[in-house]
Amino acid sequence: MREPQSRTARIRALAKSDEAAALAELRLFLTETFDIEVLDLSINYDQYSLNSLNGFFRDSKDRFFFKFHQEEGEEEMSGEYYRADLIAKANLPIDLPILTSVQPGEQILVYRRRDDRRFSDVLRELDAEHDEKQAAIVDLAERELNEKILTVAKDSLHPVTLEQVANEPIHRLFYERLIDIKTREAPGGRFKKFYIGQSFAFHGATLSWSELADARLLLNGQAMTSTIGEIFNQALVNLDPANLANAGGIVAHGDAHNANVWFENHDGKAQLSYFDPAFAGEHFPSILSEAKATFHNVFAHPFWLYDPQVAAESFKAQVQYEAGVLAIDTDWALTPVRQRLLRAKAEMFWKPFLKHLKNRELLPDNWEATLRSALAMSPALVMNLRAHAERHNPTSSAIGFYVTALVGSRPVHGTNVVTEFFDAIDPDKHG
């Protein structure tokens, strides 16, 4: 027997098939939850709303912006959600909601509407057409935000218990998408639903899950140490909450992809501020704290994760499978602005923070493996990477598995953009 959907799940489903019905349900939801007037309600359809819904409405006096994140089976999941107060008290810049509902299945935030742009939209323009002056403004704003993140991470770092770590909601985005939430069996969740037993269509080859999972990988000719299947299996171990307490806990937003960041530009001087702290925590496992932001603000771009049709028009991705070897060749690469964001994240957060963990004797030996697992699962579990399953096509799907393997596995020999990142932040290599 199929379990009834939560209100947020029902509204998200209706938004994909019957907008009028979704708006009617959403209006009732907002009115009943907050006892407010809801006029001119609209849903904002954008490429960044992979597991969420947002939009606008007004009352007789003011304009508002709403957003909610909705996860399958979230009533069974761990953690306390939408703790914007934690971020504000830690002195991280955040736009505080004026209305909040945190009941599982009925979680929603309402903000006063503002005219600032999201950082994601500013960066997408720079992906499409590079402007060095704007890129410099963006780079400075990113560095200043990471300087604040680092200060809070250092100041809030503390030993944590297994129970404290297990109760953090961030596991909804990682471990609890790899397992069956009710039975705790693995594989399960999105991992099983999206990939196991499925067929994978690329330009040049169509593979079964077992072929894809077990194939030795060549990424643009570079042999990787792990297969796709091994990357998932390693994540099941590395991202298990029981294995994440040894690096301490901090206060963190946890899901600060740039569609959750406002870009305030004042005469050429930009400032960044968060919103939608659905997964914020005070005992946040430190190695995971900036993993989502690192991946989604850098390696998910240009285009392939959020704009797969644009990726198909912009890049080539050819797949060859022979004798258990899967070769993916693509001309996809980070744009100059994404390279700058990666350097900023490495220099302003990861390098000094990992050094701080080491000095506090809280840096685990497997920190790189854990961070690689988090980076790899960021795209693999946020949406189905199979072509034609959701948004992806054969080109963007191939790029998706290419990037998942690039961040999730070390190469057998040589370097690449990801090994250079890890070399740059490794405290053992920088005294």
pLDDT tens, position by position, 232-262: 999 999 999 999 999 999 999 999 999 999 9
Judged against a pLDDT cut of 70, whether residue 416 lies above it is answered with yes
Tell me how far apart the alpha carbons of residues 417 and 76 are, in angstroms, rounded to a whole number. 38
- pLDDT tens per residue, range 337-365: 999 999 999 999 999 999 999 999 999 99
Classify each residue of 166-176 as buried b or exposed e, where b means 16 or more C-beta atoms within 10 Å of its C-beta. Answer: bebbbbbbbbb
Looking at residue 140, its pLDDT comes to 97
Judged against a pLDDT cut of 80, whether residue 383 lies above it is answered with yes
Pick the CATH number of 7-112 from 2.60.40, 3.30.200, 3.90.1690, 1.10.10: 3.30.200
Judged against a pLDDT cut of 70, whether residue 153 lies above it is answered with yes
To which H or E segment does residue 67 belong? strand 63-69
Going by pLDDT thresholds of 50, 70 and 90, the confidence category of residue 1 is very low
The tokens describing 238, both together, are 């590395």
Looking at residue 102, its pLDDT comes to 79
The tokens describing 339, both together, are 């390279």
Looking at residue 84, its pLDDT comes to 84
Going by pLDDT thresholds of 50, 70 and 90, the confidence category of residue 81 is low
**pTM, 2 dp:** 0.93
Do 112 and 63 meet the contact criterion of CB atoms below 8 Å apart?
A: yes
Do 167 and 279 meet the contact criterion of CB atoms below 8 Å apart?
A: no
3-class secondary structure, 71: coil
Arithmetic mean of pLDDT, 417-426: 98
Q: Per-domain residue ranges for the chain?
A: 7-112, 117-429
Tell me how far apart the alpha carbons of residues 88 and 105 are, in angstroms, rounded to a whole number. 25
Looking at residue 51, its pLDDT comes to 79
Arithmetic mean of pLDDT, 202-217: 98
The tokens describing 138, both together, are 């963006």
| Beta pairing partners, 270 | 265
Tell me how far apart the alpha carbons of residues 260 and 94 are, in angstroms, rounded to a whole number. 10
CA angle (374, 377, 382) in 5-degree steps? 125
Going by pLDDT thresholds of 50, 70 and 90, the confidence category of residue 79 is low
Going by pLDDT thresholds of 50, 70 and 90, the confidence category of residue 49 is confident
3-state helix, strand, coil in the chain (%, to 5): 45, 20, 35
Going by pLDDT thresholds of 50, 70 and 90, the confidence category of residue 47 is confident
Tell me how far apart the alpha carbons of residues 235 and 366 are, in angstroms, rounded to a whole number. 12
Strands (E) across 160-278 are located at 199-202, 205-208, 216-219, 222-223, 249-252, 261-266, 269-274
Arithmetic mean of pLDDT, 369-382: 98
Looking at residue 259, the DSSP 8-state letter turns out to be G
Looking at residue 50, the DSSP 8-state letter turns out to be S
The answer to which of 81-85, 91-95, 207-211, 249-253 has the lowest mean pLDDT is 81-85
Residue-averaged pLDDT of the chain: 94
Arithmetic mean of pLDDT, 147-168: 97
User: For a pLDDT cut of 70, what percent of the chain falls above it?
Assistant: 96
